[in-house]
Structure 1
Amino acid sequence: MASFFAALMNSLDIALLLFIIAIGLNIVFGVLHVINFAHGAIYMLGAYAGYSCMAMLGLPFWLALIVAPVPVVLLAIVIERLVLSRIYDRDVADSLLLTFALMLILNESIRMVWGTGIYVIDPPAMLQGTVTLFGNVTYPKYSMFVIVMGMLVLAGLWWMFNRTRVGHIIRAAAIDREMSQLVCINTRFVITAVFAFGAWLAAVGGVVAAPMRAIDPGMGDKIIIESFIIVVIGGLGNFTGTLLGAIILGLIHGFGSRYFPEVNLLLPFIGMALVLLFKPYGLMGSGGR
């Protein structure tokens, strides 16, 4: 039972961290109708920015969590205004190719600035060590923080999209952009703000992941693959589907690494293939887009 609870907590930890990152990708697709391949590079840039704030500028983790995403968001605004805004009326394949090129540019830019070395950040002092759960299961404090952080992001996003005017405006722009303009919604501003918000979520995810995972130039490639698996399983542009996909992938990683280590790397792709075979638009997708 101790092994089962440890795997369950690991699954929840992984799932909620991936949710923070993947939901930004799905929100951007839902409103802009752009599949952003560069999302993983933005996540990686957030991790490197967090490292620079903590290791080079000497900022505490909590302040770095606020400061590090700011330059990433500003860069995202520039990218959306100067590059992405030119392809909204084109075929989705154009957005795939363009954002893939942006991913390569950002990856090489990161290598030029920070090099190809591996960086490690220690968790803040209050989150170091372990806690005891379920009587005899020891679990890292920082992983507990990630779970709480993921739940706060989940609750905040649900509240924003379902209980605020901002959320209703975003949903209106996603459903019918032309009609939104007719009712005096500045859809151009909404599109830019949504892309910036998606970048902020990715950057926050990068800072949160930094003390758990080594920071290296390949971390963005792995996370974008996992994010796409999540949105394919859950359904493109679907909030609930993103959460469901993240939980499924978290369970695959948490229990697969403990009980099926030989095939753990294959399990996410097997799961995605099965979903595509039987539910081509995802478990929660409607097939509208």
Structure 2
Amino acid sequence: MDLPTFLVQCLNAVQYGLLLFLVASGLTLIFGIMGVINLAHGSFYMLGAYMAFVLAPAFGGNFIGMLLAGVVLAALFGFVLEWVFFSFLYQREHLQQVLMTYALILVFEEVRSLLVGNDVHGVPIPQWLSGSFALGSLMSYPWYRLFASAACIVLAVGLYWVVNRTRLGMMIRAGASNRDMVRGLGVNIQLLYRTVFAGGVALAALAGMIAAPMSSVYPGMGSSVLIICFVVVVIGGIGSITGALVASLLVGVVDTFGKVFFSEYSGVGVYLLMAVILVWRPEGLVRRAA
């Protein structure tokens, strides 16, 4: 493998890992703080992709405006969904949570089918991000993929700042450690849960909106993302933002280079990585929310 090809694969690995982080960070916060095993989290990624498909014509070339509108709509949807559905799951057993959130997947898929059909759709890359730049004399890399990586890095830094440097983040970290103590200190734990859930939905939807121009928008696209995101959460440590970021990048590297060097066995690499890390650190790379 020559240097330009290696650089392209490195960029692809980082871009894929950072997109995974956006989805997995919301999942690990919801699981770590609220204690809900949310199998429907991948559907929020699908929701974002389909929102990009629906909103793109309305916003024209204003891609950033479309992303902001989609994030607001997704956060409002998450806030209402937690209020009318997930707030009743906290005291249920994990098996009931799994069954009920799996039922939500079926509901979301059916609603998606009724509203936009079962065809495969594409979202155009904005004109100002079209094209590519040269990597060596023979290789090039799309500007949009570089934009996607940069946007994810900015969001990762912002999320780290919110969780570790703000009052809201202090309550989130305290809620992950001891929710009864937080409730006893007078924190509105229901509002905190809804805020965290809405943020998790918004992050997953934003990842779907960013990914939509790079891939097709198709039915069931959230299922494959959900599986790999649970792997990221387990590797990184439940409730840990830092762990989710490190695990996402590791998974991105293993998956990308596994497809290059061991294409026939590429699907095994990520799960082998998870097995090795769990043998070494059963609690994940980071033990607590950080």
TM range (shorter): over 0.9
Aligned partner of 2:201 among 199, 202, 216: 199
- Select which of 43, 46, 49 maps to 1:47: 49
Whether the aligned pair in 1 keeps the contact of 2:52 and 2:123 (CA below 8 Å) is no
Partner of 1:167: 169
1:5-36 per-residue CA deviation (whole Å, 9 max, x = no partner) reads 11111111111111111111111112111121
Cα offset, 1:116, TM superposition:
0.7
Worse-superposed segment, 56-65 or 216-225: 56-65
CA contact (8 A) 1:229 1:272 kept: yes
CA distance in 2, matches of 1:209, 1:133: 22
| TM-superposition CA deviations, 1:209-262 (whole Å, max 9, x none) | 100110001211111011111112212111121111101110012212222222
Aligned partners of 1:44 and 1:203 also within 8 Å: yes
Partner of 2:270: 268
The letter for the 2-side match of 1:267 is: G
Bigger mean CA deviation after superposition, 263-272 or 7-16: 263-272
Counting only pairs closer than 5 Å after superposition, residues 2-151 of structure 1 correspond to structure 2 as 2-55=4-57, 58=60, 60-133=62-135, 137-151=139-153
- Contact kept in structure 1, 2:123 and 2:213, CA below 8 Å: yes
Structure 2 distance, partners of 1:246, 1:148, is 15
CA–CA separation in structure 1 for the residues paired with 2:165 and 2:5: 40
Residue 285 to residue 93, structure 1, CA distance change in 2 (3 Å): farther
1:168-219 superposed Cα distances (whole Å, 9 cap, x missing partner): 1221222222221222211110001100010000111111010011000121
SS of the aligned residue for 1:265 comes to: helix
* TM-score where L is the length of structure 2: 0.92
Deviation at 1:161, TM superposition (A): 1.2
* Cα displacement (A) at 1:280: 3.0
Query: For the residues of structure 2 that align with 1:196 and 1:82, how far apart are their CA atoms?
Result: 13
**Aligned partners of 1:256 and 1:214: how far apart in 2?**
23
Among 218, 221, 228, which residue is 1:219 paired with? 221
Percent identity of equivalent pairs: 35
| Partner SS for 2:267 | coil
Residue by residue over 1:117-153, the C-alpha shift from the partner in whole angstroms, topping out at 9 and shown as x without a partner, is 0111111111111113478642110110111011101
The amino acid across from 1:109 in the alignment is V
For the residue of structure 1 that corresponds to 2:181, the secondary structure is: helix
Q: Is residue 155 of structure 1 aligned with residue 157 of structure 2?
A: yes
1:9 is aligned with what amino acid?
Answer: L
Q: In structure 1, list runs of 5 or more residues that go unmatched.
A: none
Residues of 1 paired with 2:110 and 2:87: CA distance?
23
Deviations along 1:58-113, one digit per CA (max 9) or x if unpaired, are 46322110112333322222221122111212222222222111112112211111
Are the aligned partners of 2:236 and 2:286 in contact in 1 as well (CA < 8 Å)?
A: yes
C-alpha distance in structure 2 between counterparts of 1:32 and 1:134, whole Å: 48
Taking the aligned partners of 2:8 and 2:39, their CA distance within structure 1 comes to: 33
State the number of aligned residues. 287
TM-score, structure 1 length as denominator?
Answer: 0.93
Return 68-77 or 256-265, whichever deviates more: 68-77
Indicate the RMSD between aligned Cα atoms, in angstroms.
Answer: 1.9
> Out of 241, 256, 259, which is 1:257 matched to?
259
